[in-house]
Structure 1
Amino acid sequence: MWLTRVFRDWGARRLVTRRTRKPCGLGNEQPTSTRQQLSSCYQPSSSTSYSKRASPPLCNFRSPIILSCRSISTEMPQLSDEKAKFTAPDGLSTKYRVEEVHRYMVDCMTAVGTPQAHAAALADVLVAADRRGHYSHGLNRLEMYVNDVKQKVCDGSAVPTITKESVSTALVHGNNGLGPVVGNFCMDLAIKKAKETGIGWVCTRGSNHYGIAGWYSMRATKEGLLGMSVTNTSPLVAPTRAKKAALGTNPISVSAPGKDGDDFVLDMATCVVAVGKIEVERRKNKPIPEGWAIDKEGQITTDANEGMHGALMPLGGPELHSGYKGYGLGMLVEVFCGIMSGGQYGPNVRKWMNTDREADLGQAFMALDPSFFAPGFEDRMSDLMNHCRNMEPADASKPVIVAGDPERQHINKVEQDGGITYHINQINDSWKLAMALGVKPME
C-alpha cells in the first residue's frame, strides 16, 4: 500500500462479501447526508493499493508503446502561454515512482484550488490509467483537468447530489464536479444498492471527463460484483453514411470477477481509433490506415490532415465492414448516458477542449451481484478465460489473450521496473506545467 493519505473519518463499516476485497466505502446502512455518502467514496483513495495482484502467468504479450506524448486535442491554449516561458532542462528522467506521479498530480490540482480529497480522487484514476498502459488517459490528461478548473468551467469543489432514487436506481446530478469525484460517488451508490437488492443502476448528468471507464467497473468487481460504466463524450465520431461527427467515442467498460483476482475487464471505445493516433501519424507525415477516419465530404481518407478535420469512424469502420454495429453501440451509450440522465447528448455536447460552457456529460454505472443468480460464477468465469488463453494460436508469437491481460502485464512491468516510464516529450511538458503552476516537478 503505497498511498497513506487520510481523509476525514466518517466511520468505517465492515462489508461482508463473498470475496476478500477492499470495501468501496458505502456500507449497508443509508448515510445521513449526501456529503457523507461522497466522503465514504474516498475511502478507497485513502487506502489505494498498487501492490501486485494475483493473476495467471501471461504469455509474452507486448505492452503498448508510447509513440507520442500529446495530441492536438490535449494542448491547453489557456496554459500554453505560461508554459512557453520555460524550457525544460536536459537530462530529465523518464521513469518515476507511482507515488511521485500521484504527488505531482495532486499538487497541480490543488494549485488551482481543488480540495485535497478531490485532487487525490482524480490522481488515483490518472495513475491507474498509466499503470495499466493507457497513457492517453493518465498524465497526458492532467493539463485538461487543471485547465477546466482554472478556467472555472469545472467546479473542483463540487459535491454530487441525489435527485431521485429507488431501492435499485438513482439519478444523480454531478453539479459540474470533477468526473472521477462524480464517478466514484455514483458507482459506490450502485454497489450499495446491488448488495441490498442484487442490482444497482445509477445515471448522472452534470459530470465531466472521468478518466478510464474501467476504473469504475473494476470498483464493483473488487466487491465481487459485475460492474459496468459508460460515458458520452464530445462529438468526434460520424454515424454510418454521415459526413460529420454526431457521437462521442462513448467508451464501454464491463468487468466481471474471476478467481483469485483474475478478473475479466473490458474497456473499449465505440470508434475505430483514438483521435490522438491520427495526430501521431500527421506529425510523422505518414498516411493513416484506411477505415480510421473520413474527410469533410464524408469520404474515407488515408490523409492524416484530412482525418483530423473530418471525423472518426465507428467501431468496424465502413458500412461494408459492419461499422453500423459500432455506430449502434455508440448510440446505445447515449441512451444510457445523456438521454436517460437529462444531460447533454450527441451533437449537443460541447466540442472537445472548449471552455465556453460546462460539459454536462451524462454517465451511467451498473453493479450486479452474481450471488443472486446461479452459484459458482467466478469458477465459470475463470474456466472460460483460461480455456481461451490455452487455445493454440494462429501465430505462435501471439498467444490468445482475454480482456484485461495486456493491462495486467503492464502493471507487472511497472512494478518490476520500479516506476512508470513516459516519453521524454511528456516529461518535458509536465516540467513546464509544474513551473507554470508553481509546484514541485516530478523527481
Structure 2
Amino acid sequence: MGKVATSEALRFMTDCLKAVGAASRPAQQQAELLLQADRLGHPSHGLNRLEYYINDIKTGACCPNNEPRVLKESASTAWVDANNVLGATAGHFAMDLAVSKAKDTGVGWVSVKGSNHFGIAGWWAQKAADKGLIGMAFTNTSPLLAPTRSKQSALGTNPIAVVAPAENGESFYLDMATTAVAVGKTCVKTVPNEGLWSLSTLDYGVSYVDVIEMQLRKGEPIPKWWAQGPDGKETTDAALAYETQCLMPLGGAENTSGYKGFGLSAMVELFCGILSGSLYGHHIRSWSHSGEGGAADLGQCFVALDPGCFAPGFQHRLADCMQHWRQLQPTDPNLPVLAPGDKERKNFFLENYLLA
C-alpha cells in the first residue's frame, strides 16, 4: 500500500483541477475540501470523488471560474446564485456571508441555488464554529432515498451538519446523511506519523466502512433496512441494492421509524431546493462519473448563530454534556460512549500536519 504526503496529495488535486481550466484559488479550495474529508475519515467525499469534479468541468456542467452573487438580502438573510461554480467556492462565499450577518444581528441564514456538490457538510458548519458561532449546513443531492411506503427514490442523501464550539477546546460535531447508509465509499487510512496519507480501493488490511459498494466487492450481504430492491422490499443482496440504487431512509422500514429519516430528508429539501429555487428532489439529475446530464443546480443552506445572544455559559454547558456522555457506562466495555465528533477527531491529523 503506497503512502503519499498530504502536501503532495493537495498539490496533485489542485493541479488536476487547474489542468481542466479552474483558476488557482477555486482549485485549491476544492482540493482542501477533498483532503479534509479524507482526514476526517469520510473518503466518499475525498480524493475518491476528484474525477467527478474534473469531468463536470470538462463537459461544461460546472463553470469553476464564475462568481457567486447575492440576489436578495436582509440584515439576517441572503438568497445567493452560486452561478454554477465549484461547491467549495459556493460554500466559502455563502458561509462567509452567513457569519458576517450573524456577527451583526445574531443570526445569518443564506439560501443558495445553482450550486454543485459541496463535499462534507461538516466542513461548512465548522467554518462558522471556528468564529465562535453555531454553524449549520445542508444540501440536497441526486435522488437515492425512497420515501416510506414508496418503491421509487425521490430525495437525496440530504445531509445535516451542526457544529458548535465548547469550553476547553471541545466541540460538538454532527455530520450525518438522512439515508440509512451511503451508496459507495472507498477506504482511506490516515497515518499521523510524518504527515502521510494512504488510499485503498480494495482490501489491503484496513478497516472498511460497511457500505453497499464495499459489501458488493467483498461478495457479502448488506444488513437489513439499508436498501430496497425493485419490488420496494428491503434486500440484503448487495448486488441488487447497488443496481436498484434505492436507499431506505435513516431508521429503515416504517415499523422501525424510517419515516423519521424520510421527514428529515424532506426538511433538508425544504431548506435547500424549495427555499432557494434550485432544482429539488425528483428533478435533480444523477451525478455521473462521466459528467453528463448538465448542470446540477443544487440547493444549499448555510446558517450561523451567535450563542452569545442567548443564555450565558453556552460553551460550559455544552462541554459538560459531552464529557458526561463519554463517562456513561457502556454496554460493551470495549466500546466507550462517544460524543458527536469524537470519531472525526480521532481520524484528524495532528495540527502540525494541517495545510494552510
Secondary structure of 1:172 counterpart: strand
1:332 corresponds to which of 255, 263, 267:
267
User: Would the aligned equivalents of 1:221 and 1:255 in 2 still touch at CA under 8 Å?
Assistant: yes
Give the whole-Å Cα distance in 1 for the aligned partners of 2:108 and 2:63.
Answer: 27
Task: Verify: 1:316 aligned to 2:316, yes or no.
Answer: no
Which amino acid in 2 is paired with 1:344? Answer: L
Which amino acid in 1 is paired with 2:140? Answer: N
Task: Verify: 1:267 aligned to 2:175, yes or no.
Answer: yes
Task: Verify: 1:143 aligned to 2:51, yes or no.
Answer: yes
Give the whole-Å Cα distance in 2 for the aligned partners of 1:344 and 1:94.
Answer: 41
1:402 corresponds to which of 308, 325, 339:
339
> What are the equivalent positions in structure 2 for 1:189-204 lying under 5 Å apart?
189-204=97-112
User: Would the aligned equivalents of 2:286 and 2:293 in 1 still touch at CA under 8 Å?
Assistant: no
- What is aligned with 1:290? 224
* Cα distance, 1:94 vs structure 2: 2.4
- What is aligned with 2:131? 223
Could you list the per-position Cα deviations for residues 56-109 of structure 1 after superposition, in whole angstroms to 9, with x for gaps in the alignment? xxxxxxxxxxxxxxxxxxxxxxxxxxxxxxxxxxxxx62222211111110000
- What is aligned with 1:305? 239
Task: Verify: 1:101 aligned to 2:4, yes or no.
Answer: no
How many residue pairs get matched?
326
Which consecutive unaligned segments of at least 5 residues does structure 2 have? 185-210
- Structure with more strand by fraction: 2
Secondary structure of 1:275 counterpart: coil
> What are the equivalent positions in structure 2 for 1:77-156 lying under 5 Å apart?
94-156=2-64
User: Would the aligned equivalents of 1:214 and 1:266 in 2 still touch at CA under 8 Å?
Assistant: yes
Give the whole-Å Cα distance in 2 for the aligned partners of 1:315 and 1:94.
Answer: 36
Give the whole-Å Cα distance in 2 for the aligned partners of 1:282 and 1:190.
Answer: 41
Task: Verify: 1:359 aligned to 2:293, yes or no.
Answer: no
Does 217-226 or 347-356 show the bigger shift?
347-356
- What is aligned with 1:279? 213
Which amino acid in 1 is paired with 2:274? Answer: I
Could you list the per-position Cα deviations for residues 393-425 of structure 1 after superposition, in whole angstroms to 9, with x for gaps in the alignment? 11110011111111111114x779x79xxxxxx
User: Would the aligned equivalents of 1:187 and 1:202 in 2 still touch at CA under 8 Å?
Assistant: yes
Which amino acid in 2 is paired with 1:175? Answer: N
**TM-score, structure 1 length as denominator?**
0.72
Taking structure 1 as reference, are residues 144 and 196 closer, same or farther at Cα in structure 2, changes over 3 Å only?
same
Give the whole-Å Cα distance in 1 for the aligned partners of 2:221 and 2:308.
Answer: 50
* Cα distance, 1:308 vs structure 2: 1.5
* Cα distance, 1:294 vs structure 2: 0.5
Alignment RMSD (CA, Å) = 1.5
2:313 corresponds to which of 376, 379, 393:
376
Does 320-329 or 392-401 show the bigger shift?
392-401
Which amino acid in 1 is paired with 2:259? Answer: Y
- What is aligned with 1:171? 79
Give the whole-Å Cα distance in 2 for the aligned partners of 1:234 and 1:158.
Answer: 23
* Cα distance, 1:392 vs structure 2: 1.4
- What is aligned with 1:348? 283
Identity %: 53
Secondary structure of 2:57 counterpart: helix
Which amino acid in 2 is paired with 1:100? Answer: E
> What are the equivalent positions in structure 2 for 1:362-441 lying under 5 Å apart?
362-412=299-349
Give the whole-Å Cα distance in 2 for the aligned partners of 1:355 and 1:187.
Answer: 29
Which consecutive unaligned segments of at least 5 residues does structure 1 have? 1-92, 420-443
User: Would the aligned equivalents of 2:60 and 2:294 in 1 still touch at CA under 8 Å?
Assistant: no
Secondary structure of 1:191 counterpart: helix
